[in-house]
Structure formats: C-alpha cells, structure tokens
Structure 1
Amino acid sequence: MEHFPYKPREHQKEVMEAIRNAVRRGENFCLHAPTGFGKTPVVLSALLSELNGGKIIWAVRTGNETDRPIEELKVINRKSEVFGFSFRGKKDMCLLARRMNISSYEGVSNLCRLRRESCPYFRNLKKLDYFQIDGPMVFSEILKAAESIQVCPYFLQMMLLEEASLISLSYNYILSPLGWAIRHKVSFKRSFLVVDEAHNIDRVAMELNSKSISLTSLERAIKEDERYDPKDSLGLRRKLTSMRDFMRRVAVGEDGTFDLNEMLSSTDLGPDDLKKFHELVDIVYSDYVKRGKEPRSYLNSVAEFLIVALEKAGEEGVAYLYSVEDEPSLEVWDMRVRSFLSTIWKDFRSVIFMSGTLEPIDAFSDVVGVDNFSRMSVPSIADPERVSTVIVRGVSTRGEELSDEMLKRYLKVVERFLSIPGNLAIFTASYRIQGEVISGIIELAREAGKLTYSEDRNMSGDEASRILREFKDLPRQGREGLLIAPAGGRFAEGADFPGEELEGIMLLGIPFDRLTTKTRVMIEYYERIYGRRRGRYLSYVVPALRKASQALGRAVRSHEDEAIFLLADERYLNRTYFSLLPDFVRWNVRVVNWRDLPSSDG
C-alpha cells in the first residue's frame, strides 16, 4: 500500500496483495475487473513495490492510450518519486517530419534512416550534456521539451529509457520487430509486463503477423516500376504484371483461398527477387527525400507481402486468402496466436493481463498461451437496484440479411426503446446490419425528438472525437440523443459514458463475425487444435460475446450509474451466450416478446 495514492475501495487491497504474491512466486497474473474499479493505479502500485531495480513495461492497444498510466504515476508521486514516461514512435515524435509535413509511419521511418546524420535535431541531441527530469512525463511533454531546446524527441526518449521505472507504449513494441528499439536499452527479463485491455491481444497479434496486398497497391507498384526502372533492367515488371493478372483471375465472386505455389509459378516470383525489390525501393525512397516528398513505396508493400508469404509457406495455421469485399486483395493470414504469444510472455519476469472483459479466463489463457498464472475476478461495481435487462424474443440477426418481416420487428423494438428518456445507444451486430436498419432508426429517432449520431467505417479520428463530445454533452444542454454504432467499433469499446451521458443500451443482434471464408478457416483451425466444440467456442462464440460485453459496459462506470439494457436477439437466451455476459447484465432480467414491449421502461 506504500505507493497507492487513494483511500482503498472494496477489493483493491485484495487485488494488490494477490498481484504482489504472484510476482514474488514468478507467476503471471490475470485480472478481470470492471471499468471504474481502478485497475491502473492498483496494478501500478502493486508492481512498484516489487521492482528491485527492474522496470514496468505497460503495453496498451493504441498510442493514444499510453498516457493513462503516466497520469496515474503523477498522482502516485505525491507519495514517492518514480520516473516514467509514455513512449511514442517516430511518426509522432519526429520534428523534421512535422516540418516537411510527412505523417505516415513508412515515410517518417525512411526519412529518419536517410537523413538522420544531417538532421539538425539529431545532431543537437548528440551535443546534449544534460536533460532535466522533473517527474513523470507524457509524450507531449517530452515533445514540447525537446522542441524548446531543438533536439530530437524520439531519440531523447531512447536516452530516457534507462532512467525510467515505468515505460508505457503500444502493443507493437512487444509483439513486432519494433521491439528491438526498446530491448537493447531495457532488460525484459528483469521487467514486469502489463498488458492493458488484454482481451484485444490475440487479434492484434494476428494482424501484426499477417500481411495483405490490394489490387490498387499492385497497380501502383507497376507504375512505380515503370517510372524508376523504365527499361525493366531488374526484370520485375513482367512478374508484377503476372501477379496482378493472377489476382484478377482468382479474386472474383465470393471470398476464398488461393494456392501460393500456383501464384509463384504463374508469376515466376521467388526469394531471389526480394533483393531486386529492395534495390529499387531504396532508389524510390532516396528520390522522394531529395524532392522533399514523403518517402513511401508501393513496391515495398509488394516486397513485404512476398516476404511474409514465402516465410510462412507450408506452415500449419497460416491461410492464403483472397477477398473481393472492398476491392480484390490477397492476404497471408497467420492464426498461430498461442504459439507466437507464449514465447513473448517468457521473455518477462512476470506478465499482468488485465481487462474488464477477460472472463472466461480459462478461454483467454488457452488462446494467448498464458501458463503458470494466478487469477482474480472482481465483481461489477454497479448497483443491482439501478440496472435492469430485457431480452427480446422473436427477433434475431441470424442469417445473411434481415428479411422484411424481421426488419419490421426490429424497427418496432427500436421504437419502444426510444421512448426511454435520456441519451441512448444502439450497438449493432455489424456494419452490415447497421446499414440495413439505420435509415429506419434515424426516422424513428427524429420522431422521438432525439438527435442522431452514427459511426462510419471510414470516419476520421477527429470526426469521431467531435461526435463523441457532442453526444456526451447533450444532457447538460437539456437535450437527448441516440448513438448508433457497431459492437466492436470505437464507440462500443473505447468510450466512457458516466452518469446521464448514457441511460440505455440496445444490442441489435449478437456481434458474431460474418461466416466468410476467413472466419470458417479460423474456426476449422481452432477445431483442429482444441476439438470441435471448444474450438468453435474459443474462435467464434467468446469473441462475439466479449464485443457485446464491452458495448454493454459503456453505461456502467460507477456505483451510482443507472442503465437499461435491451438485448434484441433471442439467441441471448442460449445458456452459453448468456453466461458470457457481464454480471450486472445478468442480475435483473426479464424476457419479453417483441410484440409486448412496453412503450417506456423508464
């Protein structure tokens, strides 16, 4: 308790003690605790007392979340002096790139590689004798301090790694080759790793180990080759054209799988071509930098795809897929999460996994390869008297699309739901389902006097922030709104709506992954590993109900919050599905036919 800066609430002392005991035994620890419990200060305080010269590496899903543990450390530092900072990549920290208006990861990385020795900020940093540390720093504070003395913020961070007891960074630095930047400064074997929002880690690992290439990127790579090797001296153009023709030939109709050997034989592409790609890509990058342009290359995208495709050839658990959903594309998809992640965890002294939707922990540990662990599940902080749930019979999003009759039923359910006073949210099973119902929902919301806000697949971060800000502010203006978004989207997982900001949530369907070729291939792979029933449960059922649980958790952030939950899909009555929902959703449940819903549950 020496580092904990608050008056402990229920279960917090118990969790801190359990974590300390686990890491003293050299065990990992899985913590399921609701949002609002105080997971960050509890875990941080417990680990600070056990450092013994080591470090805490705090891994989060996105760079935007790296500041949270550092802000907590600033509060903790009122009791003890500990230095930590949020680490961000070159894309966020390069002053030269900002000056040249270069913003992509690829562009900034290549700019740094090609211009580092002549960069004034890097050269100034090499002359820096001393940097004043006045306490924990979020990345923007490091950026501002570096800019004020005209030194490179990114490499200033590298210098600070050795001084820090807490380093907050994105998953990428733990799961991808980017980690070398940290590893050569920090001993992972002496460090604790905290995986925040750990329910995301398996999907992130799959995405990082997989690679795709679109028809548009391939066509642009051909144009790049024509420009930088007009005589085709490297002999890549014919092979790129053959690859484009192969993609056009196979990526038609519905999504499916392709044969890697067939692609290689029809294009004559092989390992010997990779050196040629890199030779030409370096010419492209150098030319762009000389012209003050962003050093990006579509030829590099093709090379990266081929590297991954060739490296993983013949491996069990790797699928070669084509997609036609947005545009033709090829993908090498690596599903071997357990074998990959289990080797990562062994690099650390102990790993703490925490999330508000980590349950069922046995399922989580199976999928991500966690062995030798202790666990603890903290009950919801919600007040049972302030929450209620209705499961609606007679409606379901099962199937490829909603029938006219089912659409009519859903709109009748939505009409009843909209009679609830205050801000409401409808989280749909998918963007596809959302597209089928949204026009009718918007019309009903207008009739109910609620302003509508909806999440779009291609929405920018700035636009999402504006929508969120406006929606949350409505109750303070005496107005009401309806938020429409897919479960699993940015509003259903990344946003908090305390108090009057959200009074009711409707789940329109269960957010199962659509049964595409990709989904079926994954289910089949898991069934081979875990058996038919458990494989389907781990790969298909648990992820869907985790998405639903994340969405439902948006409205309950404290003991005082009130919320009504409308589960608009009769499949929630399935015993397995229902058992995977949060405890506060299962406390006070009524089952009502869609025809019999009251006009207001308020």
Structure 2
Amino acid sequence: MADMRNHEVLIRKIIQNYFPYTNIRDGQERIMSAVMDSVSQRRPLLINAETGVGKTVAVLTPLYYLAEREGYRILYTTRTLSQSTQALLEFERISKKCKGNLKAVSLQGRLGLCPMIFLDKRFEGGVKYDEFREICEKLRESTRNDKFRRLDEYSFISEKYGSLDDLKIAKRAVYTTCPFYFGYLTKRSSMINSFLTKRVLYPDIVFEKCLSSTICPYEVLKDASKEATMIVLPYIYIFNPRVRQAFIRGILDLYEKDLEDFVLVVDEAHNLPDYLRDLLSSKISTVTIKRAQNELKNVIIGHKDLQKYAQLEILLENNVYYLSLSYVLKSLENALIDSLEESPQEDSVEISLNSFLRSFFYHLTKDSFFEYNRGTLSDDNLMYDVITYIAYTLSEIGNIIREHLLKMGIRPRSYIGRIGDFLVESLTLERDPATHFFLEKHNNIISLRMNNFNIQILSEILKNFHTSIHMSGTLKPFDSYAINLGIENAIELDVPADFIKRNRIVFYYPKVTTKYENFIRNSEEIIEGLKRSLMSILSNLNANTIVLFPSYEWMTRILDEEFLTFLDKNLYGKYFIENKDTPVRQIQKNLAAFRSLKDVGAVFFGVFGGRISEGVDFPHEELRSLVIVGLPYPKPDAPQKALYNYYKARYGEENAWHLAFEVPMIRKVLQAIGRLVRDEKDYGIAIILDSRAK
C-alpha cells in the first residue's frame, strides 16, 4: 500500500515539474504511470490510445524524468517524418517546463538529408538506398584524397547554391567529390558548437543552416546523436539488421549489448508487423530479367574489361564447363513463363522453390553442357550445386558492375546482381517453414516473390533494450500484436478518449454485405443493394463525406454509369474519385478542392489502402461523415492464404483466422473511423454498410 502511495506521489511530482501543459487529459496520468512501471519492471508496454488523448507527451514526460535521474537514453522510432516532428516538439516543451538540459535530435536517413540529390546526375529520377550509399561512400573517399578537385568543386558549390530554392533549379553534373562533406571536414567544429546550445535539433532547420554553410547535414546530425538523450529515427535504423549495425557501431559507437541502457518507443506501432514483413519480402520478374539482358549487352559486352563476365565457368567433377550469361538469363525467363503456364489462372499462386528451380535447371541443361548425361537431371544435389554457383556468381558480377559504373560516374545499379542476390537469399531461406514463394502476374509481367512470415527474426532485437513501449490508436487486439512480434509478459493499457465517445456516432446497416460467399451466390442483388443504400445516404448528407470501398474492384462495380448519373444530378459535380491510376498530383488537387467545399459538402470516393484512407488529416468541417461500403477483409489470395496456414501451423486454426483476416480488417476500420474526430471540438458520424459489423 505504501509503495502504491509513493508511486502516486511520484507521478504527481512528475506532472507538476515536467508535464508541459496546464491541463492534463483523461488517460494521460494512466499512461505516465504505466511507463514508470514498464521501466522499473523491465516489461514491454502496449498502449492503445485514440487520437486526441495526447499519448506522445504522456510517454515522453516520465521518460524525460527517468533520463535525468537514471541516465536512460531514448530511441523513438517512427514511420513518417510528421510523427518525428511531434516527438521533438513535445520533448522541447518538457525541457522548457523543467528547465532541463537534455538534448534530442531527429536522425533521418542520409538519403533524405543529402543536398547532392539535387546536384549529381546519378541521382536524377530517383535512386535506391543501396545505390545512394555506394555513390556517397565513393564521393566521401574521393573528398578525403583528392585535394585539388575538392577545393575546386567546393568553391563552385559554396558560391552558387546556398538555399533549397537554389538547389531545385541547379544544373546537374557528375561530381568527383562531395563539397558538403569537405565543408563538414573543415568547418564541423564551429557548426557543431553552434548547435550544442540547442535542446532540440530539427532536421529541416539543420538542413537549411548546413546548406547555407556548405556542410553535410547528415554528418552534423550524426555527431549530435552521439550525445543526445533522445534520438528520433525511422524504423529501419532498429529493425533492419545491416542498417542497425551501422547505426549502433558507426554512430553511437556501441554494441548491441549496450542497448540495455536505452528505452525504445515505437510510434504508430500497428504499422510495425506489416513493415517487418515487407523487409522480409523480395522478388524478381520478367522486367528484371529484360533489364539484366540489356545490362549484359550495354555494360558487360560493351566494355572490354568486363567482357570476360559474359561467360560463366562451372567446375563439376574436376571438369570446367562454360555457360553464357545470356543463356542463363534466358533460361530463367523461360522458367518463369513455364511455371505460370503450369499454374491455375490466378493473379497469384503459391509454388515450391524446388519446382521453379527444376524448370530453371531444365532450360539450363536442355541445349547446354549437360547434354552428355540427361540422367543427371534427376539429381537434386547436382541441380542445387549448379544453381547455387550461378546465384553467387551473378551476385558477385553485380558488385563488379556497380563498382565499374561508379568509376564511370554512372548510378551503380545492377539487375544482374539483383537476380543473384534474390537467388542466394531464396536458396538460403528455402528450408525455413516460414518462407513461401509465389508466382504472380500483373499487366503481363510475371514475378517470383519470396515472403518470410516469421517477423520475429527482426523483432528479436526488442529484447536487447531495457524496455520497449509500443503505442498506437489502433493497437488492439493486443494479443495479435504481441504474438506477431514475440512480446511476452507485456503491460497492456487501453486508454479510450471520452470526448470521442461523445462526439462520434457509428451506425451499421444490416441488410447488405460484401461477404464473398454471399456475393458468389447472388452478385447482382448484392451490388444493387449496396448501390441503393449508398444513394440513399448521400442524398441526405450535406457535409464533407468520404466513402471507402474494400477494393478498386468493388468501387468499379458500384460506381457504374447509373451511379455516376445519380452523382451528377444530385451533387452537381461536387465529388471526387481516387482511381487506381490517378496520379498523385491529381489526388492532391482533388483533396484541396474537397477541403474547399467543406461549407457546402462534397464526397470523396476511395479505397482502403489507397492514398486518402491513411495519413491525410481532415480536421473539423473538412470531414464530417464516413461511409464504409463493406468490411475490408484481406483478399484471400495466395499470400494471404499462406499467411493463414503459417499461423494455423504455429498457433492453431481459430487463432489463424483471427490473426490473418480479422485483425487486419479491424485495424483498417478503426483507422478510418479515427479520422472523424481529432480533438474535443471535432465531431462526425460513420456508417458501415455491412451486416457483419454487428
């Protein structure tokens, strides 16, 4: 009892001395108390708190206190830049309230902070991170060694480009050194000292300041991170093993065992499982192979010092056999085509890697060096030996090509290397029961995709931290999140916002559904019922409304010619449709127009997973009504069925359905409905056209 009273007294003291706002909202004190428990007991904390509760400041306030008293450091991970800004703002407000001296910095990716993106030709049209890293390292190395060129290029850039506006109109060239890295090497002390007096370093402000002084902003933020109490950074810095290793060793100068002195905060944590699945997914396609064939012709055959790589040497039973790279790529392409012809006529189908490799090996040997002994085709060991050798050889050729392109001042992209890397990774993970392979066809492009569903491979790092705090407005059901990430013995905290209950009403209409079984039996009746229901609703609304469909296919079925005629007649053109091929700029224009019509009311049609369903705010009159046309269960395609089977084998049939189908649907609906009410003065209604919503 005494311990409980002491705990309550401490929380009140923290609120009095550290909490930066005059009024504390319902639930914020509970969050602060749970954070203290999580740190003292070293138990993960799962927080479900809707928008408007103020969970960011409620989490950071006790963490700031603990950082001052106990020396903990904070790694605050986010999915988007806007989330990182909010964390920095709250940290700064807490610092001002308690007159503290702790520092915070937002360490965004090097790619997003690089001024050379606007200047070097190799970055034109976008660049992948690995390609950017290779160019950046080459420029840094040259800057350290080439004294003449670095002075020449530095003088040119420092005189000509001192602002972001200057960069945007800059004429691109191929640079041999990095003027901004040279500026950092020569002026970093004065720049770092000027920033050390600030409590919080915002990346946009650091970028502008460094740009005007011709200094690399990333290097400045990297130096500041070494001493910062809180570092705000993207998920990839923690959950990608290669990037994490570079961050911990190269920036923090620590080892993974030292992470026990850090508290990890995962913001918008409902995104994390899908993010980790994406990290464990890769693919090759007929487009990849076509580009590799062009690379062979233009880069390898086109350059004398690379021509030897146009032919592969394979050593078998003390004999050397030669196989042209062109033949290997053509055999791989034929294997993709053959595999599709043997599969059902579906957009996606699961296949075994072994069956694909057999097809690949058949085409390799059909007219080539195994002609002397067709019996060897049945020897899986021989097949795997040959393809493994080819995979590693292609990967190494890719590295050689990238280095060659770098020396030529060309973007270091290799599709031959990408194919090799995919095959190496596939062969390595094939025996893992969580690894599945899918053949996909879209717009006449055939792809082979590899997914590994065991995201605990990547989330295992959570156990290295002193504790981890996971928060979101849609983190429930807690059990599914914890199971996916392998989190055990967690503290679970659900903090509803009372004003949301008062200001938001949710209806459901029980006479219609998008349930697949019902649709198969009577599709025309289902479509007609949904159309009439939606027409009736829109006829009686005079406020800004968003209508979300489970997919583009459902939207196309319902928004037919009759429905569009109804819209023209009743809404007088005040409606917008986000189609699958609508350009981003057009969507942005439509959103601006939609917002401008808030006083008279307009309708925006979109889909779950589309650009308007997440990540766009519509405060107050900009959105008053939301109509959900059918619950957005995941499409039961081959990858989703494979995920279900993975869960079934690991957690049982009942849990499998819950994890694979129900939880994604629930989170999508809650995310959408959560857009209606963002603060105490906001209000809105949601209508769900699906009997299953009951």
Same fold (TM over 0.5): yes
Which residue is 1:204 aligned to?
275
How far apart are residue 292 of structure 1 and its match? 4.3
How far apart are residue 169 of structure 1 and its match? 1.6
Which residue is 1:251 aligned to?
340
Distance in 1, matches of 2:441 and 2:119, equals 39
Which residue is 1:411 aligned to?
531
How many residues are treated as equivalent by the alignment?
570
TM-score where L is the length of structure 2: 0.78
How far apart are residue 93 of structure 1 and its match? 1.6
Distance in 2, matches of 1:459 and 1:49, equals 48
User: Is 1:29 aligned with 2:118?
Assistant: no
Bigger shift: residues 510-519 or 145-154: 145-154
Distance in 2, matches of 1:457 and 1:368, equals 32
User: Is 1:484 aligned with 2:576?
Assistant: no
Which residue of 84, 88, 106 corresponds with 1:66?
Answer: 84
Q: SS at 2:71's partner residue?
A: coil
Look up the equivalent residue of 1:565 and give its one-letter code: A
Distance in 1, matches of 2:219 and 2:402, equals 22
Q: Which has the higher helix share?
A: 2
Distance in 2, matches of 1:17 and 1:65, equals 23
Alignment of 1:252-331 (within 5 A): 252=341, 253-254=345-346, 255-268=348-361, 270-290=387-407, 292-326=409-443, 327-331=445-449
Which residue is 1:333 aligned to?
451
- Contact 2:180–2:214 at 8 Å: present in 1 too? yes
Look up the equivalent residue of 2:461 and give its one-letter code: I
Residues 350 and 554 of structure 1: is their aligned pair in 2 closer, same or farther, counting only changes over 3 Å? same
Bigger shift: residues 183-192 or 13-22: 183-192
Distance in 1, matches of 2:48 and 2:311, equals 59
Look up the equivalent residue of 1:403 and give its one-letter code: S
Bigger shift: residues 101-110 or 203-212: 101-110
- Contact 2:26–2:497 at 8 Å: present in 1 too? no
Which residue is 1:135 aligned to?
199
Alignment of 1:71-86 (within 5 A): 71-79=89-97, 80-86=100-106
How far apart are residue 290 of structure 1 and its match? 4.8
User: Is 1:188 aligned with 2:247?
Assistant: no
- Contact 1:228–1:280 at 8 Å: present in 2 too? no
Deviations 1:149-192 (A, max 9, x none): 21222222221211211211211111112112321133422111
Distance in 2, matches of 1:438 and 1:167, equals 47
Which residue is 1:447 aligned to?
569
Distance in 1, matches of 2:579 and 2:184, equals 43
How far apart are residue 341 of structure 1 and its match? 4.5
Look up the equivalent residue of 2:427 and give its one-letter code: L
Look up the equivalent residue of 1:388 and give its one-letter code: I
Residues 81 and 454 of structure 1: is their aligned pair in 2 closer, same or farther, counting only changes over 3 Å? farther
Residues 347 and 470 of structure 1: is their aligned pair in 2 closer, same or farther, counting only changes over 3 Å? farther
How far apart are residue 117 of structure 1 and its match? 1.5
User: Is 1:237 aligned with 2:326?
Assistant: yes
Distance in 2, matches of 1:194 and 1:287, equals 42
Look up the equivalent residue of 2:199 and give its one-letter code: G
Residues 125 and 273 of structure 1: is their aligned pair in 2 closer, same or farther, counting only changes over 3 Å? farther
Distance in 2, matches of 1:58 and 1:463, equals 34
Deviations 1:84-108 (A, max 9, x none): 1222212212222321151322432
Identity %: 25
Distance in 2, matches of 1:160 and 1:286, equals 32
Bigger shift: residues 385-394 or 7-16: 385-394
How far apart are residue 456 of structure 1 and its match? 4.0
Which residue is 1:493 aligned to?
614
Residues 457 and 144 of structure 1: is their aligned pair in 2 closer, same or farther, counting only changes over 3 Å? farther
- Contact 2:26–2:498 at 8 Å: present in 1 too? no
- Contact 2:77–2:264 at 8 Å: present in 1 too? yes
User: Tell me, which stretches of 5 or more residues in structure 2 are unaligned?
Assistant: 1-14, 143-177, 253-257, 302-306, 313-323, 362-385
Residues 26 and 491 of structure 1: is their aligned pair in 2 closer, same or farther, counting only changes over 3 Å? same
Which residue of 240, 243, 246 corresponds with 1:178?
Answer: 243
Residues 61 and 457 of structure 1: is their aligned pair in 2 closer, same or farther, counting only changes over 3 Å? farther
How far apart are residue 64 of structure 1 and its match? 5.1
Which residue of 54, 62, 73 corresponds with 1:46?
Answer: 62
Distance in 2, matches of 1:458 and 1:275, equals 38
User: Tell me, which stretches of 5 or more residues in structure 1 are unaligned?
Assistant: 574-602
How far apart are residue 82 of structure 1 and its match? 2.9
User: Over aligned residue pairs, what C-alpha RMSD do you find?
Assistant: 2.3
- Contact 1:70–1:86 at 8 Å: present in 2 too? yes
Distance in 2, matches of 1:459 and 1:83, equals 43
Deviations 1:482-513 (A, max 9, x none): 12221233422212222111111111111111
Which residue of 119, 122, 126 corresponds with 2:185?
Answer: 126
Which residue is 1:592 aligned to?
none
Distance in 2, matches of 1:267 and 1:383, equals 58
Residues 113 and 457 of structure 1: is their aligned pair in 2 closer, same or farther, counting only changes over 3 Å? farther
How far apart are residue 233 of structure 1 and its match? 2.8
Look up the equivalent residue of 2:574 and give its one-letter code: L
- Contact 1:240–1:267 at 8 Å: present in 2 too? no
Residues 171 and 561 of structure 1: is their aligned pair in 2 closer, same or farther, counting only changes over 3 Å? same
- Contact 1:445–1:482 at 8 Å: present in 2 too? no
Deviations 1:316-375 (A, max 9, x none): 1110111113421001110112x3245121121110010111112122212221113212
Distance in 2, matches of 1:426 and 1:458, equals 18
- Contact 2:395–2:418 at 8 Å: present in 1 too? no
- Contact 1:40–1:72 at 8 Å: present in 2 too? yes
Distance in 2, matches of 1:424 and 1:204, equals 30
Deviations 1:510-537 (A, max 9, x none): 1111111111111111011111111111
Look up the equivalent residue of 1:351 and give its one-letter code: S
Look up the equivalent residue of 2:233 and give its one-letter code: L
Bigger shift: residues 252-261 or 236-245: 252-261
Bigger shift: residues 533-542 or 287-296: 287-296
- Contact 1:505–1:565 at 8 Å: present in 2 too? yes
Distance in 1, matches of 2:274 and 2:227, equals 32
Look up the equivalent residue of 2:330 and give its one-letter code: T
Q: SS at 1:448's partner residue?
A: helix
User: Is 1:360 aligned with 2:477?
Assistant: yes
Which residue is 1:99 aligned to?
119
Distance in 2, matches of 1:65 and 1:383, equals 21
Alignment of 1:459-538 (within 5 A): 462-475=585-598, 478-538=599-659
Distance in 1, matches of 2:603 and 2:564, equals 9
For the pair shown, which has the larger CA radius of gyration, 1 or 2? 2
How far apart are residue 398 of structure 1 and its match? 2.0
Which residue of 71, 75, 79 corresponds with 1:57?
Answer: 75
Q: SS at 1:390's partner residue?
A: strand
How far apart are residue 457 of structure 1 and its match? 4.0
Deviations 1:391-419 (A, max 9, x none): 21221112277823322221211112212
Residues 427 and 350 of structure 1: is their aligned pair in 2 closer, same or farther, counting only changes over 3 Å? same
- Contact 2:27–2:496 at 8 Å: present in 1 too? no
Look up the equivalent residue of 2:294 and give its one-letter code: K
Distance in 2, matches of 1:146 and 1:456, equals 41
How far apart are residue 123 of structure 1 and its match? 2.8
How far apart are residue 462 of structure 1 and its match? 4.8
Look up the equivalent residue of 1:295 and give its one-letter code: P
How far apart are residue 561 of structure 1 and its match? 2.4
How far apart are residue 32 of structure 1 and its match? 0.4
Which residue is 1:225 aligned to?
296
